[in-house]
Amino acid sequence: MKQPKGTERSATRNRRPSKPPAGDVRRQHNAVPPQAGPTKPTATRGAAPAAGPDPTRAVKPAFDREAASRESAEQQPAGGYPDQQAARTRRTGAPDEQYVRLRIRVRGDRLTVVDSHLVDGPLAQSTTFHGADAYEVTYQDRLLHAGTVADPNTQRSFPLPDGPEGHHVTPREIYEFTARIPAADVTAETRAGIHVRLHRIDEPTTTTHVGAAPLATQFEGRLTPVAELVGLPESALPEAIDSRGARTGQGN
């Protein structure tokens, strides 16, 4: 007997293994214990919130003003704290915190002050005398300050392409260098007795301490005198420098 159309296909489909309904197949997982802690109460839709604080939350105690006042009073020193004062700023312009920077011109064995500036800040004394020349500033055979001058009278130029190798070195007849002196030592009474000397360094010297004697005495046989200046001009006084506006910041 001829089967109706579509019946044979339906019978074949029914012989296939059936797929279990969704949700019947579950994967096996290791059991994880639930985290212990407060549980959030279940809210009912439309219900009013429960009155009073939430028991699951920590409640901050109320501020006790009297207890805080007693604690603050116990921590205060005897007699209370002193009155506040404005912070003290570093005083600039004090004589012991300034130095005079002299620009000195050398012509043969003569020295001339061509410019001077007042510099804010302390003046450090060098203990190493390496280089071509060294200067010193003294007053009545007392050393006020000393330093080195690197190649002040030497002029170097590049060699010619067709000339001999090496730089050309030419000594200068007129040159300048910078000397420094504490501003407190330059006064109207002392300026005429201040001496500035320029020495040629024959043997480089390093010492742990520079004393109050002139360099020629401390480093005898290691220096050769070159030029000397006796007395400073009135324009080198700190008051005169400040009045003409030739005052600079520290290290300038």
Q: Which SS3 state, helix, strand or coil, does residue 55 take?
A: coil
* Residue-range definition of the domain harbouring residue 157: 95-243
Q: Is residue 80 part of a domain?
A: no
Q: Is residue 233 part of a domain?
A: yes
Give the CATH number of the domain where residue 106 resides. 2.60.40
What pLDDT shows up at residue 249? 72
What pLDDT shows up at residue 177? 94
Q: Is residue 234 part of a domain?
A: yes
What pLDDT shows up at residue 230? 96
- Helix, strand, coil percentages (3-state) for the chain, rounded to 5, are 15, 30, 55
Q: Is residue 144 part of a domain?
A: yes
What pLDDT shows up at residue 212? 94
Q: Is residue 24 part of a domain?
A: no
Q: Is residue 142 part of a domain?
A: yes
Number of domains in the chain: 1
- Give the Cα separation of 38 and 51 in Å (integer): 18
- Tell me the pLDDT of the chain (252 aa) as tens digits: 555 555 555 555 556 666 656 555 555 555 555 555 555 555 555 555 555 656 666 667 777 888 877 777 777 666 666 666 544 434 444 545 899 999 999 998 899 999 999 999 889 999 999 888 999 999 999 999 999 987 665 555 555 566 556 555 556 678 999 999 999 999 999 999 999 999 999 999 999 999 999 999 999 999 999 999 999 999 999 999 999 999 887 655
Q: Is residue 2 part of a domain?
A: no
Q: Which residues pair with 113 in a beta bridge?
A: 104
Task: Check: CB of residue 132 under 8 Å from CB of residue 188.
Answer: no
Q: Is residue 6 part of a domain?
A: no
Tell me which residue of 125, 105, 127, 131 sits closest to 116, measured CA to CA. 105
